[in-house]
Amino acid sequence: MQDDLYINNFNQYILGGGKANARSAPGSASGRDRYNQSWSKRTEMNEEDFDSSRDWLPFGTKEAMEAKARLGRTASLAAALWGRAPEDLERQLLPRCPEIPQGFDLADFRILHQSAQSLLAVLRAPGKTWAPSYFKRSAPAILVGVQRFTVWEARCEIARRAIEYLEKPR
């Protein structure tokens, strides 16, 4: 009885509520369904059972190297676009269009903007107790005309303006 309660709670809180995997063929059981079925039949699972219960995407050395390169490219763009100090952000916000660093394409700016927006959303969320103290410190407000930005709001706005500029036909 205790095992059944544990399994139900596990399925409800960890696995429940998700969609079927889009890669599953119509009419076939998704990895989640196979996983749920295997847990409902027994309480133990070996490594092969676990691996076969999910539709894993391959992630090897090649994918790790590509992810590392993307992260490095995004970090390089962030440094070039935002600078290191609040004054650099203010300088980029003063003109209508920020100074666009060379060597990056629109996709790079979109990735940077999406990453900055995600971090800003997390930092704005109540109960962000996980965040390191340097994220929680109150940074100086960046004032541009009558607008007031936090550091991360300024970064998002600069990336948004750069994307807007790059999307305009020339």
Phi, psi values for residue 16, rounded to 5°: -70, 155
pLDDT score at 129: 62
- 47-78 tens-digit pLDDT: 777 777 777 777 788 888 888 999 999 999 99
C-alpha to C-alpha distance for 36 and 7, rounded to whole angstroms: 9
- 117-159 tens-digit pLDDT: 998 888 777 776 666 665 555 667 888 888 899 899 999 999 9
- Helix, coil or strand: residue 44: coil
